[in-house]
Amino acid sequence: MRENPDDGFLRFFSWVRRPEAIPEGARELMEGERFQDEVKKIAAFARARRLEKMHLDPRKMIALMERFGPLDWRGPHPHAIYWASEGLVVTQAYKRRLNEARVQRGLEAHDDDRWAKGMDYVYHDVNYDRVLYGALQNLVSRGRLLYDARGRILPMVGPDYRFADAMIELFEDVYDRYGDTTGPFWRGVRSAYENFLKNTSIEFFYMGDLNKSRRYYERLGQKYPWPKYKLPYEQFIREALDQYIGSLGSRRCRNVVRALIAQSYFYLGAGYDVRAQQLYEKARAVVRQWDMRQQADTLRQKVSFDEAREAALVDIFSGRAGFPLQVIERLKERLPGEVVRTLEESIKRREEEAGLKRFEAEEKHEEAED
């Protein structure tokens, strides 16, 4: 049976993703110094072939990266941006062809204003624009792929604020085209832009980038000159945090803090120290705001940062958090040895106690059956 010519480059990507999945002899050749020039040529061919099979034009991909930033094509969002951009090109070509046909028949060509009022193509335009800014917004909030030291993708994504300014530019363009109150889409466009500016200004505050947080809040006030966005920056942030904390009960607040700390430790174990510290401080900020708002005087109301941190680490070290083994091992190396030993002993005691309880329950069940 003839071998599929695509099998070779598929095996190359298998080696990239999981080096241990290919025969040891082949792996040694690929990873050794002697054939590195050949490996680079194979990589270039395999990636070009992959792009060809996926109908992706490298020139258009580069153009999008020049417009928006360093897109990582291993994730889904850049592909959504690519095909939405292609869709917009097609709709504009359709408009030109239709205008040419009108002129040939002695009719007047439609101007942009006429096209924007009730013509079918505008619905296609706005749909592609929605995909475009939705994908870019997802890149900002959760579009960064994380990798371990071997280059393997980890089962967690993170925000990528490198695209925040590109998101602003895109929103400004969409706002100019659809934000007119005489059009059918202005409410959704204005609301989406308002929420993005508000949420990112708060998020940048959490992340410690106060300059960008202030800049986004100033733009929010300029674009939406309403009384609630004319407050001093410090008051806006304080009220926004207070509103968020106010929506949480004590149990949910503990869960939020615990989840933030767990994410922080995931990033620490994966080698993303800056993001780890940002999430750690965000967890602390939530606890501080809860304490100021609630003035909790009972154990049931209190939210303890230290207890949440210990619970998160127990979940991680026991495997319940689902972290990859290499992340857990790297995290143990980065934490104080005494902390790691104490937690491991605690986990061992809990497992022994759980095993004893299961044994006692089984004995009682057997006695009941007898």
pLDDT of residue 350: 67
What gap in Å lies between CA 271 and CA 148, rounded to an integer? 8
What gap in Å lies between CA 158 and CA 141, rounded to an integer? 7
What gap in Å lies between CA 338 and CA 344, rounded to an integer? 10
Same domain, 87 and 163: yes
Taking 3-state DSSP, the helix, strand and coil percentages for the chain, each rounded to the nearest 5, stand at 75, 5, 20
In three-state secondary structure terms, 158 is: strand
What gap in Å lies between CA 122 and CA 186, rounded to an integer? 13
**Token reading at 170:** 């895109």
Share of the chain above pLDDT 90, in %: 19
52-83 pLDDT per residue, tens: 888 999 999 999 999 999 998 888 899 999 99
What gap in Å lies between CA 105 and CA 111, rounded to an integer? 17
Same domain, 28 and 76: no
Region 221-227: what's the mean pLDDT? Answer: 92
248 domain-assigned: no
pLDDT of residue 1: 44
Same domain, 174 and 79: yes
Question: How many distinct structural domains can be found in the chain?
Answer: 2
| Residues of the domain holding 166 | 58-184
197 domain-assigned: no
Same domain, 34 and 62: no
DSSP per position, 9-77 = HHHHHHHHH-GGGS-HHHHHHHHSSTTHHHHHHHHHHHHHHHHHHTT--HHHHHHHHHHH----TTSSH
Summary mean pLDDT of the chain: 80
- Of 184, 201, 221, at which residue does a domain stop? 184
Same domain, 79 and 126: yes
- Going from the C-alpha of 363 to that of each of 349, 350, 360, 366, 368, the distances in angstroms are 21, 20, 5, 5, 9
Same domain, 102 and 170: yes
Query: Which H helix or E strand runs over 144?
Result: strand 144-147
DSSP per position, 311-327 = HHHHHHHHTTT---HHH
279-301 pLDDT per residue, tens: 898 899 888 888 877 665 555 56
Q: Could you tell me which of 255, 312, 320 has the C-alpha nearest to residue 286?
A: 255
232-273 pLDDT per residue, tens: 999 998 888 888 777 777 777 887 888 889 889 998 998 889
What gap in Å lies between CA 137 and CA 159, rounded to an integer? 10
Same domain, 39 and 155: no
pTM of the model: 0.68
Same domain, 98 and 48: no
Same domain, 134 and 172: yes
Of 19-33, 199-213, 223-237, 321-335, give the lowest mean pLDDT range.
Answer: 19-33
Q: Does residue 147 have a pLDDT over 60? A: yes
pLDDT of residue 359: 46
In three-state secondary structure terms, 277 is: helix
315-360 pLDDT per residue, tens: 888 887 778 888 899 999 999 988 888 888 877 876 666 555 554 5
Same domain, 114 and 1: no
